[in-house]
Amino acid sequence: MKILHIEAGRHLYGGALQVAYLIEGLERRGIECVLVCCAGSAIAQSYRKRLASLYEMAMGGDLDLAMIWRIGRIIKRERPDLVHLHSRRGAEILGGLAARQAGVPVVLSRRVDNPEHSLVVRWKYRLYDKVITISEGIYRVLLEEGVAADKLVCVRSAVSPDAYQQACDHSWFRDTLGLEARAKVLGVIAQLIPRKGHRFLLEALPGLLESFPTLKVVFFGQGAEEARLRQQVDALNLQDKVIFAGFRTDLPKILPCLDLVVHPALMEGLGISLLQAAGAGVPIVAVDSGGMPEVVRDGHNGLLVPPGDSAALRRAIHGLLSDRSMMTRMGQAGAALVAREFSIDRMVEGNLQVYRELCGNHD
C-alpha cells in the first residue's frame, strides 16, 4: 500500500508533528509513504534524507488554484492507493479536488473545532471518502454541522511519552530561562494568537502573585499576538514575571521542570501540548471546551475552567499551587492516561484501519 500525505504547515507544530509520527509508524509496518509539503518547511528538512519520495512545493492557500495541477502531477507520477490530507491552507480543498480528479480515494484529517458555514460543509465534505477527527469534540462539531456519521471516524492524536519522562535538570533550566532558584514556573505552550487565550492568564496573574510572589510565567511559542501581549504585560507591570521564550524544540527537557502547564485557549481541537505535558507528568489547568476535556480530566490530571474566565483560571491555578500532593498525584495520573489512551501505535493503527477500509486489506 502506498499513501500520499499532504501537509502544508511550515513549522513542526502539533499537526505536522502528528504527520511525522504517522509516517514513521506506517513505514515500520511496511507501508510506503510519499510526502508533499511546503517548500522550506520544518517537516521537509526532517524528511529529505529519510523518505524515498518527498516533494516540496509552493503552497499559497485556498486561492492558489495551480496547486490542483501541481498535486495532480505528483499523484499521476506516484500512483498512490490513497491521498491523506493533513492540513488547511489550500491543502484540504485543493488537494481534495486533485485527488478526486485523479480518481484516488482521499481522507482528510480534521484537527480544529472551529465551526464552518453550512454551505461550506455541504460542499466541502463531499470531496472526502473519510474524515478523521483527532478528538471526539471535533467529531461532535462535524456531526452537528451535518457531516454524515458514516463518513466520520475519531482517531486521537498521540505523543511518545518516553521522550518526556525524564528528570529535570534544574541548573540547566534556571540558566536557560534566567530564573531564580526558588521560582514557581507556569508554562503556556501555544502559538501567540488570540484564540489561545494568553491574555486571560495575564489578567489572572496579579492576583496569583499576592500568594505566590516567586511565580514566573513562561510563554513558549511565537505568533502575531506577541506585540499585543507584551503591551499587556507592560500595562500590568509584569515585566519581571513573564518570559517570552519563543518556539522551542527542547520541550522534552523543559516540561519536566515546569510546576504547572496552563492552557487558557478559547477553543482547541485536542491540544498536543496538553498531551506532552500530561506525558511528562505535569498537572494542567485548561479550558472546558473542544477536545481539551479528553486530555485533561477534571480533578484527575488537572482542572478545567470556563472559557475566557480569568477569575476561574486564577482560582484553579491557586488551588493547585497550594497543594503539592495533589499536583504530584495529578501529574502521575496524566502520565498514565497518555500511555494508556494516546500512544503513537494506537494512532497509527487507527489511521491504517481507515486506509484498509478504503483500499482493501492489502498492505
Domain boundaries, the chain: 2-158+343-359, 161-341
* Same CATH fold assignment for domains 2-158+343-359 and 161-341: yes
Residue 130, beta-bridge partner list: 107
Compute the distance between CA of residue 176 and CA of residue 82 in angstroms, rounded to an integer.
45
pLDDT of residue 89: 75
Grid coordinates given for 328:
504530584
Q: Does 362 have pLDDT greater than 60? A: no
Of residues 238 and 166, more confidently modeled: 238
Specify the CATH number of the domain 161-341: 3.40.50.2000
CATH class of segment(s) 2-158+343-359: alpha beta
> pLDDT tens digit string along 150-209?
999 999 999 987 888 889 999 999 999 999 888 999 999 999 999 999 999 999 999 999
Which residues make Cβ contacts (< 8 Å) with residue 105, sequence separation at least 6?
Answer: 81, 82, 83, 99, 129, 358, 359
pLDDT of residue 363: 55
Compute the distance between CA of residue 56 and CA of residue 43 in angstroms, rounded to an integer.
10
- Mean local confidence (pLDDT), 337-359: 95
- Mean local confidence (pLDDT), 93-112: 94
> pLDDT tens digit string along 252-302?
999 999 999 999 999 898 888 999 999 999 999 999 999 999 999 999 999
- Mean local confidence (pLDDT), 55-71: 90
Provide the whole-model pTM: 0.86
- Mean local confidence (pLDDT), 97-101: 95
Which residues make Cβ contacts (< 8 Å) with residue 139, sequence separation at least 6?
Answer: 133, 152, 154
Compute the distance between CA of residue 1 and CA of residue 354 in angstroms, rounded to an integer.
13
